[in-house]
Amino acid sequence: MDLPTLWRAALLQLAAVALLSIALALALPHSFFEDWGWIAGPAAWMLCAAFTARILRLPLGPTLLGAALAGLPSILAVVFGVHWAGAVLAVALFALWCARLRAQDLPVSGRRSAG
């Protein structure tokens, strides 16, 4: 596991989700989220994950797979009315996934491969 990637991924994803959430909340009425939140939330999450992958130069496909898997436990949080607790858990799981992806890219010597 690559610890610097873990922290960078966590901070980037958290900031991206927070900023996009604020922008959407300011731009759209609350009723939009009641009707379309089930698709807008996951779409925003995946968009933020793509942004994080791009900034950290992680492979897009595996990173998005990790984002989807990390988001699954947050469904329970939504059901129990603690949506933001689920988001925090999802960010932590996603950061762990990204750190594992980066570690797989490191050769035994600990240096990143060229390319």
Look at residue 73 and tell me if it is in a domain: yes
Residue 35 domain-assigned? Answer: yes
Is the pLDDT at 109 greater than 50? The verdict is: no
Task: Decide if 110 is inside a domain.
Answer: no
Q: Cα–Cα distance between 25 and 22 in angstroms, integer?
A: 5
Query: Would you place residue 107 in the very low, low, confident or very high pLDDT band (cuts 50, 70, 90)?
Result: low
DSSP H or E run through 99: helix 83-105
Q: Which domain holds residue 32?
A: 3-105
* DSSP secondary structure letter of residue 58: -
User: Does residue 50 belong to any structural domain of this protein?
Assistant: yes
Q: Is the residue at 114 inside a domain?
A: no
Q: What is the mean pLDDT of the chain?
A: 89
Distance separating alpha carbons of residues 39 and 115, to the nearest angstrom: 36
| Mean pLDDT, range 15-29, rounded to an integer | 94
Question: What digits encode the pLDDT tens for the residues 38-76?
Answer: 888 899 999 999 999 999 999 999 999 999 999 999 888
pTM, entire model: 0.83
Residue 19 lies in a domain: yes
Q: Examine residue 77 and state whether it is found in any structural domain, yes or no.
A: yes
Is residue 111 one of the residues assigned to a domain? Answer: no
Domain count, the chain: 1
